[in-house]
Structure 1
Amino acid sequence: MQAQRKLRIALVSPKGPLYRHRGGIFKKSLRYQPLTLTTLAALIPAELNMEVTLFDEGISDLPLDLDVDLVGLTVITGTAKRAYELADHFRQRSIIVVMGGPHVTLIPEDAQPHADAIVIGYAEDTWPQLLRDFAAGCLAPRYDQAPQLNLADRPFPRRDLLPSQRYLTNNVFEATRGCVHSCDFCVVPSAWGRKPYQKPVADIIADIRQHGARKLIFVDLNLIADRGYALELFAALIPLRLQWYGLATVLLAEDPELLELAARSGCKGLLMGLESISTANLRQSRKGFNSPDKFFNLVESLHQHGIALQGCFVFGLDHDEPDVFLKTAEFAVQARIDLPRFAIVTPFPNTSLYKRLLAEGRIVTKNWELYDGQHVVFRPLRMGAEELQKGTEAAWKHTYSARSIVRRIRHSPAPWPVKLGTNLGYRFYAHNLSRFYNCDWIIGQTDAPITKVASPTGSLIATPDRP
């Protein structure tokens, strides 16, 4: 009797047009290995005996002649257009297509027509059930996250299924999900709510040990959202004698005990969303716990503990005027932020910001590939769209001028090869922005050719692989 053929699955992370050019401005991909595909691969039920292949379009081309039974696409808003193109192509070839990820969770009605099934929310329970249904021939059109998600005792990500040499690092880990705050431009409250989810600390330590990581990145959106949990995690990391990078809020600097323990646990760099030097902007964005008056002390406190800061600012908020760009850039230099980053505020679908701008008639395009933090997709309130685009470029150039780099990094606790290399990388980026966009468009023209530029993710500090 002939053995039944294994069911074959392809899991795909699609990228927008610029990112498919191996990093956009940069010739080489500067990404760390994403966790989504490797986590989904680990969750495939063993009894189904399925064959899985992973494709990350950020590092390699996706063959369009795949011989598989099911294609799974993980989608963020900026890659939705490409994901839909791929989904339509494979469905025309009679291949089952499943879609999930932040964009699908935010706006499922947008994705549903392009897929045989969509997954809403976190997939730890729904993805295995979907695959069992698929194998049994009873696939449902939609799978919603179970209300009681438990991250304990989950299999370790299959990091071996993606080529480690094609990334800056594959030492990427996740301890928590979600965030307790409700910033109006953030996708987290709209997509997953404010309830935090946590992996048992013992599970995280076991994963680090089995992978053999000595320098690693935590991609948690807010690693200190639960103080008690963060204290437990940092204490457990100390015996491992490793170095780690991650994301947190400015509130860390107001908790001396937690900050001290983070440093002792091996924290060497943090990404923090500073967002704006305007208190009015911060209040409107529901991020009033940020205080520009405290940003200087924040940097000093982190540096005293040997922690470098990647400080992120957004432009285009309602209280921004044309002078905000150079004011913010010079502020970042004077504050001695190790690695400042600038983005254009993006109203991701169904976030509070999106709903408000939509109600005000200020959304000018729903071409999702422009929703990546580097395009103007709405009417700014106190400046023109071209002013916003060119002003953002001016902020980059000022901050990464040779003089500004020297003024900032001489105070940085990061090793000289790291801080110099990352700053020179961003300097190259800043001075090549104009090669990758065209501002000759009229605001209000639907799907107008708005600016196109890819932002690097390689840095001494972690950057989330999600919006």
Structure 2
Amino acid sequence: MWKPLSLMVLAGLTPPEWKVSIVDENLGVPDYGAMPRPDLVGITAFTSQANRAYEVADHFRRLGVPVVMGGIHATMCLDEVLERVDAVVTREADSVWKEVLEDARQGCLKRRYNGGFAEMTDVVPARHDLLSGKYAFGAIQTTRGCPLNCSFCSVTAFNGAHYRQRPIPDVVREFQLIRERLVLVVDDNLIGTRPEHIARAKDLFRALAQANLRKEWIAQATINFADDEELLALAAQAGCSGVFIGFESPSPEGLRGYGGKFTLLKDRDIRASVRRIQRHRILVAGSFIIGLDMDEPGIGNRIAETAHRYGVDNLNVLFLTPLPGTRLWDQMKAQDRIPLDTLPEDWKYYTLTYPVARYRHLSLDGIIQEMTSCNETFYSVPRLFRRVLSNFWHRRKPLISLAGNLSYRGNLRQGAEAYASFKRYSDSRRR
């Protein structure tokens, strides 16, 4: 759907004497053997992609090509990754990438480079020109870090709790480099949580509107996005067409003990908040989690009905997943609630779309049934077309709304097949 931004950022940091190419295996696996032999290979991967990353690394290392790996999984599972590559970059690579390249040139790569947290004034424009076509969205990042520090989320563990913002002129200039008309702003929370964060977001939206980019963009934010009418109006003027909001639980109390979102959602009229956003012709996609410790049988239908009552345009439901490096991982590991622990083999299931843990009140069959029930209820044909017709009536991105709803509904059959395969694998592990 969108370009792999981190690799494009590293390409932008690379001195001009290096020739850079990017391979995105989401578009297909190329014939690496037919490619010219590179001097250095850099790989990034989410946890669920780790096994494939190791296969690619092994191919090039057997050819004598040094391999460096970075990103969130490499940071959280350093020892595991060090066994399979020549060098690892932990945290943000901006400050150490040129050092990595120089050491590679001299043939003296260190085993580990710790980038720490980058100064946002040092973040360079990504090389958007290196990948073209086949993507629905371009991608850009304007902030890093999240102060909410939710126990199930690895963002704070990787990017820190300090909310850092790029200079607005830099963001506008990079927006202008993006060829795609649709853009994903990959920030984990575009607008932040404090008054000074909101003020900066308003300034950014004013600058984007003034630049007249003729682009539409979607972003992630917390529900406090709805609390400021000026902020909403400026976002719409700047090209915002959709926002992804994590509600996580049908009751804010379900998040108690999981992090800062409990405070943002407590005692709030969420339906009214969603409506305020939609009045500015901005679509709202709501995200929920199944498998929180308070979730009991019936949670699937409860989430579907809650999302319907909130009036969200799309619903994205994920299984509570203990990702390495999070407090949730430490907690579930200590409680012996992570049965899929043949690592790294089992990482392939850590996509947030498989129930990889043991859940307090839900069996494996039970939690899969709750997910299936939730999606079938929310994306039933009558409700789907009611939402789409409402968006046509209010001129709120009706074609995007239709495509999104049909896409989610179309995934239901694939989901059933994937769950059946996963259950067979899980059962075989118990024998």
TM beyond 0.5:
yes
Match of 2:265 among 249, 265, 290: 290
Runs of 4+ off more than 4 Å: 441-446
SS of 2:27's equivalent?
Answer: coil
Separation (CA, whole Å) in 1 of partners of 2:217 and 2:227: 21
Inter-partner Cα distance in structure 2 for 1:76 and 1:380: 23
Amino acid aligned to 1:206: R
Instruction: Find the aligned partners of 1:432 and 1:292 in 2 and give their Cα distance.
Output: 37
> Cα–Cα, structure 1 residues 88 and 236, in superposed 2: closer, same or farther, change >3 Å?
same
AA partner of residue 422 (structure 1) = G
Matched, 1:269 2:242: yes
Q: Corresponding residue for 1:202?
A: 169
Q: Which amino acid aligns with 1:100?
A: G
2:81 counterpart (93, 106, 111)? 111
| Residues 295 and 444 of structure 1, relative CA distance in 2, 3 Å threshold | farther
Partner-residue secondary structure (3-state), 1:132: helix
TM-score (norm. length: structure 2): 0.90
> SS of the residue aligned with 1:105?
helix
Query: What is the letter of the counterpart of residue 76 of structure 1?
Result: F
Q: Distance in 1 between matches of 2:56 and 2:179?
A: 36
What is the rounded CA distance, in whole Å, between the counterparts of 2:425 and 2:5 in structure 1?
A: 39
CA distance in 1, matches of 2:404, 2:178: 26
Alignment CA distance shift 1:259-1:138 (3 Å): same
SS of structure 2 residue aligned to 1:326: helix
Equivalent positions of 1:73-152 (< 5 A) are: 73-146=43-116, 149-152=118-121
Please give the secondary structure, in 2, of the residue aligned with 1:332.
helix
Q: Secondary structure at 1:37's aligned position in 2?
A: helix
Shift, 1:339, TM fit: 0.9
Q: For residue 334 of structure 1, report the CA deviation from its aligned partner.
A: 2.6
- Cα distance in 1, alignment partners of residues 335 and 427 from structure 2: 13
- State the distance in 1 between where 2:188 and 2:237 align: 21
Inter-CA distance 34–190: structure 2 relative to 1 (3 Å threshold): same
1:336–1:407: 8 Å Cα contact kept in structure 2? no
Amino acid at match of 1:433: G
Q: Distance in 1 between matches of 2:418 and 2:428?
A: 20
Between the aligned partners of 2:242 and 2:113, the Cα distance in structure 1 is 37
Determine the C-alpha separation between the residues in 2 that align with 1:411 and 1:272: 20
The higher relative CO (CA closer than 8 Å, separation ≥ 6) is in: 1
Structure 1 counterpart SS, 2:287: strand
Q: Secondary structure at the match of 1:99?
A: strand
How far residue 189 of structure 1 moved from its aligned partner, in angstroms, is 1.6
2:415 corresponds in structure 1 to 433
Q: Cα RMSD over matched residues?
A: 2.1
C-alpha distance in structure 2 between counterparts of 1:174 and 1:421, whole Å:
25
2:404 corresponds in structure 1 to: 422
* Whole-angstrom CA distance in 1 between matches of 2:226 and 2:373: 30
One-letter amino acid matched to 2:25: E
* SS of 2:121 mapped into structure 1: coil
Match 1:234 to one of 202, 205, 211: 205
CA contact (8 A) 1:246 1:270 kept: yes
Alignment of 1:167 with 2:138, yes or no, is no
Identity of aligned residues (%): 32
Structure 1 gap ranges (5+): 1-30, 450-467
Q: How many residues align?
A: 413
Following superposition, the deviation at residue 257 of structure 1 comes to: 3.2
Is the 8 Å Cα contact of residues 363 and 378 (structure 1) preserved in structure 2?
yes
Residues 2, 135 of structure 2: 8 Å contact kept = yes
1:323 aligned to which of 289, 294, 298:
298
1:410 corresponds in structure 2 to: 389
Shift of 1:63: 2.6
Whether the aligned pair in 1 keeps the contact of 2:301 and 2:374 (CA below 8 Å) is yes
| TM superposition shift of 1:195 | 1.4
1:374-418 Cα offsets, whole Å, 9 max, x none, are 111110100101211222122111111111112333333533222
Describe how 1:330-409 pairs up with structure 2 within 5 A. 330-366=305-341, 367-409=346-388
- Matches of 1:291 and 1:340 in 2, distance apart? 20
Q: Which of 246, 250, 257 pairs up with 2:230?
A: 257
1:296-315 equivalences under 5 Å are: 296-315=271-290
Which residues of structure 2 form unaligned runs of 5+? none
CA deviations 1:241-270 (Å, max 9, x no partner) are 443211111111123332332223222210
Deviation, structure 1 residue 441: 4.5
The answer to whether the Cα contact below 8 Å between 1:179 and 1:196 also exists between their aligned partners in 2 is: yes
The one of 25, 31, 42 aligned to 1:57: 25
Task: Show the counterpart of 1:22.
Answer: none
Specify the code of the residue in structure 2 equivalent to 1:89. H
Q: Which residue does the alignment assign to 1:244?
A: 217
Partner Cα distance (1:212, 1:193) in 2:
31
In the alignment, is the contact (CA less than 8 A) between 1:397 and 1:431 conserved in 2? no
CA apart distance, 1:107:
2.0
Q: Is the 8 A contact 1:253 1:259 kept in 2?
A: yes
- State the distance in 2 between where 1:97 and 1:184 align: 32
Match of 1:156 among 114, 117, 125: 125
Q: Is the 8 A contact 1:126 1:143 kept in 2?
A: yes
TM-score relative to the length of structure 1: 0.84
Distance (whole Å) between structure 2 residues aligned to residue 116 and residue 212 of structure 1: 35
Partner SS, residue 23 of structure 2: strand
1:186 aligned counterpart, secondary structure: coil
Residues 153 and 203 of structure 1 are in contact (CA less than 8 Å); yes or no, is this contact kept in structure 2?
no
